[in-house]
């Protein structure tokens, strides 16, 4: 594990101790945005399982993350598109210097909102969105009767954050497969909002799939946590394995013709 700063962003790069290195980079985006991620210890050891399966991880603290000074945090406020472009530059730099041929994106909560838009810039294999905030406007309206939350949101996103078609924009524009891991009792991002976004995506002909998991926005029992982390590993690792087997079968068939 190493601390790196591609494009000036504070990141953690994690890979297996022994070669061969991973042939795919998983870009990890924390929630918040007033948060940060500085190690590979989250999600019950999931990161280590993914690394052992042959992936490298890039944990990005995108502009707007807390813990790196007010200038870094505030430069994303009211300008999230610029923050996403900066994040895309960091991903491109790591892929070039580490010679990683392929990338996927994992975003949790607000990180999923960032990840769907990041996918427009970095051409990933897929996006895995867990407890995802897909429609920012839905989320802000849900908590809009809380004065402290309204003040917090206005500073970061403005009085009309996201706009009424926020979720529709991201579901329509995201160019790749999206796997949505959605808790069935999520109190922060309502399941009904997630379902509407899923319907919009499939209505636009996008390849989105839903993986329901038990529990709240953050799992409150060990059983719910284990179920969620297993679903996350499956979304990243087993789907890649299935694709690899399918491509191998196609290659073999083509070679024998």
Q: In whole angstroms, what is the distance from residue 201 CA to residue 168 CA?
A: 8
pLDDT for the residue 250: 32
Please give the span between the terminal C-alpha atoms of the chain, in angstroms, as a whole number.
46
Give SS3 for 69: coil
Q: What is the pLDDT of residue 255?
A: 47
Res 244: pLDDT: 46
Query: Which pLDDT belongs to residue 69?
Result: 97
Q: Per-residue pLDDT for the chain (257 aa), expressed as one digit of tens each?
A: 899 999 999 999 998 776 556 679 999 999 999 999 998 888 999 999 999 898 999 999 999 999 999 999 999 999 999 999 999 999 999 999 988 889 999 999 999 999 999 999 999 999 999 999 998 888 888 877 888 888 898 899 986 555 556 667 778 888 899 999 999 999 999 999 999 999 989 998 999 999 999 999 999 999 999 999 999 999 999 765 554 443 333 343 334 33
Rounded distance, CA 235 to CA 256, Å?
32
| CA–CA separation, 232 and 20 (whole Å) | 23
| pTM confidence score | 0.89
pLDDT at 248: 38
**Predicted pLDDT at 22:** 67
Check residue 167 and give its pLDDT.
Answer: 62
């Amino acid at each position: 594990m190493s601390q790196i700063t591609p494009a000036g962003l504070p990141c953690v790069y994690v890979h297996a101790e022994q070669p061969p290195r991973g042939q795919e980079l998983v870009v990890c985006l924390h929630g918040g945005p007033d948060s940060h991620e500085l190690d590979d210890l989250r999600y019950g050891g999931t990161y280590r399982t993914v690394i052992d399966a042959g992936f490298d991880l890039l944990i990005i603290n995108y502009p707007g993350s807390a813990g790196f000074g007010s200038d870094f945090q505030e430069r994303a406020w009211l300008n999230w598109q610029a923050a996403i472009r900066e994040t895309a530059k960091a991903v491109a730099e790591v892929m070039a210097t580490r010679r990683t041929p392929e990338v996927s994106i994992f975003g949790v909560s607000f990180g999923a909102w960032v990840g769907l838009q990041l996918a427009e810039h970095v051409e990933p294999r897929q996006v895995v969105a867990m407890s995802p905030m897909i429609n920012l406007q839905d989320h802000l309206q849900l908590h809009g009767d809380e004065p402290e939350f309204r003040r917090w949101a206005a500073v970061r996103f403005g009085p009309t954050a996201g706009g009424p078609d926020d979720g529709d924009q991201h579901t329509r524009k995201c160019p790749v497969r999206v796997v949505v891991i959605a808790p069935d009792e999520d109190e922060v991002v309502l399941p009904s909002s997630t379902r509407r976004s899923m319907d919009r995506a499939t209505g636009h002909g996008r390849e989105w799939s839903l993986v329901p998991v038990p529990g709240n926005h953050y799992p409150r029992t060990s059983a719910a946590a284990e179920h969620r982390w297993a679903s996350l590993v499956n979304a990243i690792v087993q789907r890649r394995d299935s694709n690899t087997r399918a491509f191998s079968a196609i290659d073999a068939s083509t070679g024998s013709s």
